[in-house]
């Protein structure tokens, strides 16, 4: 398990379909709104939380799931990508630690 006391960072490059392992953990009344992927990892934004499927190991078959309920976010900051910096940043502070999600500027172009 990762140490969430230190910052955890993912850079997402493109939109993708919601993976099966995330669909299986959605609760009643929860709907996936968008999904974004890194080379191997996926973040899914639902109407209740952010779910991150962090693939591990050489094959990527081991998956650690992080779930960040919106009610547990105590503070956030966002930064838009500029002409040189191609990533938009979203930092989330929770009781468990700090998460940084970087979205490639080209995702919505």
| Total residues belonging to the chain | 109
What is the CB-side half-sphere exposure of residue 105 using CA atoms within 13 A?
10
Q: What pLDDT was estimated at residue 41? A: 87
Taking CA 9 as the corner, what is the angle to CA 4 and CA 34, rounded to the nearest 5 degrees? Answer: 105
User: What is the percentage of the chain residues whose pLDDT exceeds 70?
Assistant: 83
pLDDT tens digit string along 62-74? 888 888 999 999 9
In this prediction, residue 109 carries a pLDDT of 47
pTM, two decimals, is 0.77
The rounded distance, in Å, linking the Cα atoms of 87 and 75 is: 20
**pLDDT tens for each residue of 34-63:** 999 888 889 999 999 999 888 887 777 788
- Per-residue pLDDT at 84 exceeds 50: yes
Comparing C-alpha atoms, which of 22, 98, 88 is closest to residue 53? 22
């Amino acid at each position: 398990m990762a140490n969430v006391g230190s910052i955890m960072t993912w850079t997402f490059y493109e939109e993708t379909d919601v993976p099966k392992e995330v669909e299986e953990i959605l609760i009643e009344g929860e709907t996936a709104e968008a999904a974004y992927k890194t080379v191997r990892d996926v973040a899914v934004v639902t109407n209740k939380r952010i779910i991150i499927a962090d693939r591990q190991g050489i094959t990527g078959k081991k998956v650690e799931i992080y779930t960040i309920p919106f009610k547990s976010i105590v503070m956030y900051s966002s930064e838009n990508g500029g002409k040189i910096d191609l990533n938009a940043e979203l930092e989330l502070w929770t009781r468990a630690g700090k998460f940084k999600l970087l979205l490639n500027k080209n995702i919505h172009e």
